[in-house]
Amino acid sequence: MMPSDGLILVVDDSRNMRELIVTILSEIGFTNYIQAGNGQEALDKMGEQHDKGAPVQLILSDYDMPGMSGLEYLKSLRDDDRFKNLPFIVVSAHGQFNAIVDIVQAGADAFIVKPFEKRALVEKIAAAWNKRNS
């Protein structure tokens, strides 16, 4: 399982949703997270953290965001040697089959539909972490 102090990046264009996810992460024992409002901001923050020697260890990203979508963000990460193996979980209000297929083909490790239960998030984090760190 991912260390409780591992840095998690929460990406969503809704501040309320980011705060809700951070609250849930805190409730299930995680202590270290940063937030971004879209894919480009997330890429910038990831670069900053990497340069500081405190890299992001797991990403929870919304699918539908203005500017750079979650899918575009994921594809950018998978093309960057620094980030291509990071566990990436897509969080979306849409459980549409085509969207799920697109993100899985782009390299997402898990998909969770909003709203979700704490238990489901714990399971997705564990699965994504184990997939990339086994």
3-state secondary structure 92-116: ECCCCHHHHHHHHHHCCCEEEECCC
Q: What percent of the chain has pLDDT over 70?
A: 99
Buried residues in 30-51 as b, exposed as e (16+ CB within 10 A): beebbbbbbbebbbebbeebee
- The per-residue pLDDT for range 9-61, each reduced to its tens digit, is 999 999 999 999 999 999 999 999 999 999 999 999 999 999 999 999 999 99
pLDDT of res. 99: 79
33 contact partners, CB below 8 Å, separation of at least 6: 7, 8, 9, 10, 22, 25
* Token pair in block for residue 107: 């390299």
108 class by beta-carbon count within 10 Å (0-12 exposed, 13-18 middle, 19+ buried):
buried
Does the pLDDT at position 85 exceed 90? yes
pLDDT of res. 50: 96
- The per-residue pLDDT for range 102-112, each reduced to its tens digit, is 888 999 999 99
Does the pLDDT at position 101 exceed 90? no
Q: Of 79, 62, 80, which Cα lies nearest the Cα of 71?
A: 62
> What domains appear along the chain, each with residue ranges and CATH number?
8-72+92-101+110-132 (3.40.50.2300)
